[in-house]
Amino acid sequence: MQKIAILGSTGSIGTNALRVVSNFPDRFRVTVLSTNSNIELLLDQVRRFQPKAVSIVDRHKIGQFKKRCNINLKVYEGAQGLCEVLKDIEIDTLVVGIVGSSALLPILTALERVKKIALANKEALVMAGSIIMKRAAQNKVEILPVDSEHSAIFQCLNVKHIEDIKKIYLTGSGGPLLNTAKSRFKDISVNEAINHPKWNMGKKISVDSATMMNKGLEVIEAHWLFGVAVERIEVLIHPQAIVHSMVEFIDGSVLAQLGFCDMKLPIQYALTYPKRLDSDVRRVDFSRVKNISFHKPDFGKFPCIEIAYEVAHKGGTYPSVLNAANEVAVAEFLDNQIKFIDIPKVIKKVLGLHKGIRNPGLEDILEADRWARRKTRELLGF
């Protein structure tokens, strides 16, 4: 019986994780749930799964939650509550379903406590991949990817020697703006940017998909997860979203993982690994698949991918700056304060002003994050 904590239980990853858990009541026991502010859904989840504790980031919601919750449990408050609950409550597996840099410190905390992390957060590895992977190895904690692309790569890799890998292909559907003319980008609305054709995701990651920054972040994430050099990781646009990623080996063999677009599949694999169990995920009917195509991304139309590659090669504190500038710019776009085309522009400007540290410690990374957020807001006039 695995004791499961889910950070971001009211988001897309969290709700899907709970669907998986509910299918295997003899295998999983939910001990911790967390939300930023959606206490309505959290209350429903608490009644159903009866965890030992919850963490609520938005302190304004704490009083309302306590008044309405009639189950005896511990309530942790604020951003620091995400770390405190992981220290206090016994956990075997942590599902990280929260987006952004807010996942970094909880992950580092969990690495001292848990056996396995099912990771659906790109940003923490982008910021501090070296630190996270080193601590995971030291503490013998398995980090299993939940992103569909990285789960696909993980499922294709069964090699003892990294030199057997020639190339990793990270596939992506191309997002909501793949077939939109670049001349229209200056007028793209928030609703257009978050209207993903294949996946139902949160707003931030949906915008990252529209700019294709998500593919750039995934390149850096794959570099740390699998120990493969950045120049051996290639992004391919695959509009049908059936092939979730591929690995090419030095002998010319290519392994690919295929499946229906349903996040329950990679979540379940991460939770049950190394076993595979039956699931209710829809199957691909290959007799109805008439076309599977791939092409290289247009860096001119989607400059965020190229920016991320440049940052990946620089390393040091540059990835932390990239992530922070992107988070701020996306938040301002979602708040209708800047245009869609301003996102890559301001990120590039902030990176150009940064004086990087080659081998940063955790505090260097966190300071780079703070600096980049201030500088991005300054350049945007806020």
* Last-in-domain residue among 118, 145, 172: 145
Start-to-end CA distance of the chain, whole Å, equals 49
Measured CA to CA, the distance from residue 92 to residue 88 in angstroms comes to 13
Cα→Cα distances 29→26, 71, 311, 364, Å: 8, 16, 40, 37
In this structure, the answer to whether residues 174 and 305 fall within a common structural domain is: yes
Q: Which of 243, 253, 255 is nearest to 293 (CA)?
A: 243
The answer to the question of residue 105 being in a domain is yes
Query: Do 346 and 202 reside in the same domain of the chain?
Result: yes
Distance from C-alpha of 91 to C-alpha of 110, rounded to nearest angstrom: 9
What does each C-alpha distance from 312 to 5, 147, 183, 224, 334 come to in angstroms? Answer: 31, 19, 28, 11, 26
My answer on whether 156 and 248 are in the same domain is: yes
Same structural domain, 335 and 206: yes
Q: Angle, to 10 degrees, between the axis of helix 213-226 and the axis of helix 203-211?
A: 100
Contact present, 19 and 45 (Cβ < 8 Å): no
pLDDT by residue (tens digit) across 41-74? 999 999 999 999 999 999 999 999 999 999 999 9
Give which of 271, 277, 276, 275 is closest to 94, Cα–Cα.
271
Interatomic CA distance for residues 277 and 261, integer angstroms: 18
Q: How many structural domains comprise the chain?
A: 2
| pTM for this predicted structure | 0.94
Same domain, 59 and 182: no
For the segment 126-142, the average pLDDT, to the nearest whole number, is 97
Residue 340 lies in a domain: yes
Residue 125 lies in a domain: yes
Query: What gap in Å lies between CA 279 and CA 269, rounded to an integer?
Result: 10
**Is residue 43 located within the same domain as residue 108?**
yes
Query: Is there a single domain that holds both residue 122 and residue 168?
Result: no
- State pLDDT tens for residues 10-31: 999 999 999 999 999 999 999 9
> Looking at 145, 168, 185, which one is the last position of a domain?
145
For residue 202, what pLDDT band results from cuts at 50, 70 and 90? confident
108 lies in some domain: yes
Residues 140 and 162 in one domain: no
Q: Please indicate, yes or no, if residue 241 is contained in any of the structural domains.
A: yes
Range of the domain at 331: 151-261+285-380
Q: Are residues 251 and 364 in the same domain?
A: yes
Q: What is the CATH number of the domain that holds 331?
A: 1.10.1740.10
